[in-house]
A and B are shown apart, each in its own frame.
Chain A
Amino acid sequence: MQLDAKIPEGPIQDKWDSHKFNVKLVNPANKRKYEILVIGTGLAGASAAATLGELGYNVTVITYHDSPRRAHSIAAQGGINATKNYHGDGDSVFRLFYDTLKGGDYRSREANVYRLAEVSSDIIDQCTAQGIPFAREYGGLLDNRSFGGAQVSRTFYARGQTGQQLLLGAYQALARQIKLGKVKLYARTEMLDIVLHEGRAVGVITRDLVTGEIRAHSAHAVVLATGGYANAYFLSTMAMASNATAAWRAHRKGALFANASFTQIHPTAIPQSDDTQSKLTLMSESLRNDGRIWVPKKEGEERPPGQIPLDDRDYYLERKYPAFGNLVPRDVASRNAMTVVEEGRGVGSRKNGVYLDFAESIERLGKAVIEERYGNLFEMYERITDENPYEVPMRIYPAPHYTMGGLWVDYNLMTTIPGLYSIGEANFSDHGANRLGASALMQGLADGYFVLPYTISDYLAPLLGTQPVPTDHQVFAEATQDVHDRVDRLLSVNGGRTVDWFHRKLGKILETHVGMSRNELGLQKALREIPALREEYHNDVRVPGENESFNQSLEKAGRVEDFFELAELMALDALNRRESCGGHFREESQTPEGEALRNDDDYAYVAAWEFTGVGEVPNLIKEPLEFEYVALAQRSYK
């Protein structure tokens, strides 16, 4: 298979404009003759569904939540980047493009990233008009803050709840279309398979999570906006239900999966406190603006933080990276935290964290300012840890948080299956090997509001006059039967272990071998352990209850089954990439100072994998990355 990214010709600053002119259009009166399925209602899915509905298409949107508003985009705290340059500090489209490409360690496509930077500004306009209560200056203008990996203030925010507010904006736009009848919503409904006819995506099979009814839906095109797969690690900052099933089922049907090993371990989560923990809670990266990160200089320090004098503290980020200090990109901050903890200088009763200290900022700015900026985060921290961060430094530690990898898409955001699109975190497109803070919200909304609605017409226009494949067609019957069989199989194992038991074990393998630091031996070990555990899962999992009822164990069982297969690909992809880049740190490839060392000669490509069967080695198809506008350089934040 040859990959064609369909990147438009011309200078980078003209590509998107000329592409918008060159794509085929569907005239306004004809749009109502098309059916589009959107799976997922996070920022990308909700914004896409709302916009497609506004344009006149008939949209069906599917979410496993009880309401579109619950999607995990809601948990993003810090903000959203845009090139407004409202602060006059030298921001521009080219600078955001450059920062994003560099932050991603040169493993993303120039054209896609440039487009992202170009539309970022429109997102802020759109969201402001929707009534998102962004932070304001006293004169009524929008306020900005700075964020990791950038030297300008380009992050817009709504207290520590930016994701929530942006999602509610998209949800409300979606609600308006539902009321108008342009969008039909299926809540508490999970997509379990994708249906192909003559090589094209023509629909999906879903399970009603309340009644267990397995249903077929057909359409002219299908959009997957189903988020990332960091929950494969079990302990992550993802929501409990976040999963990879929709993307993985598409992969099994022929959509290539790219850069599976590119996972982001976020530096500022609350460290694990006990063994029954179900998730890790993130503390916004924005805290690094005013908090200083440090650990004791000596191993096994027992004094409480307040009694450790300045001379005995190691502000290791400020020491090693004077230019960016505490605001180095996430991967750098995470790896350094791991190193100091491994050196035995971790803090807290489990010695599994580093301090994020606000004492100096509180002294400099006053408690009121800090409270205004981060009050809700401090409160959340106190609820979870029972410690008051105004008085005692926070303890933080990295946690799996975001996945840059995902379904391979071309410039139109179409996967390798014609008619199947993937947007937001579910695709691989814009963040390379590491995502910068406040860029996930930007990408989700860029794809949903401003990219997909333009590019999808190119595929739809030639289909004018055709009807969606009817759901009584044989392809739907077969896919429905497959879903039934799979559900029955999971329910009939009746083994001795719970789904969570297996998930926790899988997570441990990934955390150990495919976590912040990876090496050949460990990855090979993971590639032996994962299939063995998967085999055990198929023979020994216990899923109580039945299909025809509200059965949360059954929901989890299917998701974890898919995580097993995906986990193997994550390890394989990491093994294949014998270089360090962004969040992917291969111990064999580092500079003398222990920084990530890229190998552009051999690995400046997107690794897209083709499914060949469970337990079979997938085919690797490379999309070479070419850089015309940015010179490849070793990232330096010193």
Chain B
Amino acid sequence: MNITLRVWRQDNPDAPGRFVEYDAPDIESHSSFLEMLDVVNERLTDQGEEPIAFDSDCREGICGMCGLMINGLAHGPQQGTATCQLHMRKFEDGDVITIEPWRAAGFPIIRDLVVDRSSFDRIIEAGGYITVPTGSAPDANLILVPKPAADAAMDAAACIGCGACVASCPNGAAQLFVAAKVANLNLLPQGQPERWTRVEAMVDEMERYFGSCTNHGECEAACPKRISLDFIAMMNRDYIKAKFKNRRLAGQRS
């Protein structure tokens, strides 16, 4: 198939960016979207131009490294799919495809389509863990976890931290990412001792980088792992409760 790309090119964080158009003839419809970009990059290199910088690693939709705005949609037109798993058969011959980096103040551009998502790491560092020094854990079967709770925690834990939720949000908010981690840990018995401090610390850290949530729901639609908006409600509820619970006598009642 023959397509035309309009790609955001930007040499470095401070340089002005621009759209550049590239013809991409003879693309295999079996190729993935990123393999199509590989082909375009090989051709650019052969012509003595610098290839288009974009992030990707596992190319099987689990590492969360890739992420492009494709025709204005985070990860492109196929729902529940990371960019690396999107295939060219989802496009038509002759299509003009616009490719942009994640657009969010919380994700500064590094080069072309590559952005800096380290703000996500800072949020996890703020409280996205259960404190278990190595070697101090009891036998695993001493902790009973009801299957529905384990399943719900797993639904939330499936988040790959790609940032599509932020990129698709009109407010540039990161609620879905943060809520997924909060829910993963707060739903489990193991997560209870730090439940209230965790949610407060993570939400407060989030507020330093990202916009506010106004329940648009774009994040859920864009999420390659189909993380549910419900987790945001749960996070908000826990956050408000935390304001009462994070006191010295919190352990007295749950």
Contact = CB atoms under 8 A, between A and B. Distances in A.
Contacts of B3: none
A587 interface: no
Most buried by B among A51, A67, A185: A67
B215 to A, nearest CB: 26
Contacts of A383: 61, 78, 81, 85, 87
Given A129-B138, A176-B129, A140 B147 contact: yes
Contact of A176 (B63, B125, B185): B125
Q: Is the interface of B mostly helix, strand, loop or mixed?
A: loop
A453 B62 contact: no
Interface residues of A, number: 83
B131 interface: yes
Contacts of B45: 498, 542, 544, 553
B53 A552 contact: yes
B57 A241 contact: yes
Nearest to B123: A175
Contact of A74 (B38, B46, B58, B144): B58
A273 B121 CA distance: 36
Interface stretch (B151-159, B165-173, B228-236, B243-251): B151-159
A498 B118 CA distance: 31
A114 interface: no
A237 B58 CA distance: 8
Contacts, number: 221
A491 to B, nearest CB: 12
A384 interface: yes
Interface in B50-72: 50-51, 53, 55-65
Given A131-B153, A136-B145, A54 B134 contact: yes
Interface string A68-84: 11111011000000001
Contact of B147 (A50, A70, A137): A137
B97 interface: no
A3 interface: no
A244 to B, nearest CB: 16
Interface residues of B, number: 79
A474 to B, nearest CB: 34
A277 B143 contact: no
B28 A380 contact: no
B62 A179 contact: no
B59 A140 contact: no
A165 B154 CA distance: 9
A380 B60 contact: yes
B241 interface: no
B58 A239 contact: yes
Contacts of A137: 147
A273 B147 CA distance: 39
Interface in B127-180: 128-141, 143-147, 150-151, 153-154, 157-158, 160-161
Interface of B: 11-12, 28, 30-32, 34-36, 38-39, 42, 45-46, 48-51, 53, 55-65, 78, 80-81, 85, 87, 89, 110-111, 114, 116-118, 120-121, 124-126, 128-141, 143-147, 150-151, 153-154, 157-158, 160-161, 184-185, 188, 190-191
20 contacts: A51-B134, A67-B161, A69-B121, A72-B58, A129-B132, A129-B190, A131-B191, A133-B157, A134-B140, A140-B144, A173-B134, A179-B125, A187-B121, A279-B60, A281-B59, A383-B61, A383-B87, A384-B85, A384-B87, A550-B53
Given A178-B125, A276-B38, A279-B60, 13 more contacts: A47-B134, A50-B134, A51-B134, A74-B63, A135-B150, A173-B134, A175-B121, A185-B121, A278-B38, A550-B12, A550-B53, A552-B53, A553-B51
Interface of A: 47, 50-51, 54, 65-72, 74-75, 84, 86, 122, 124-131, 133-142, 158-159, 161, 163-165, 168, 171-173, 175-176, 178-179, 185, 187, 210, 237, 239-241, 273-279, 281-282, 379-380, 383-384, 386, 449-450, 453, 498, 500-501, 542, 544-545, 549-550, 552-553
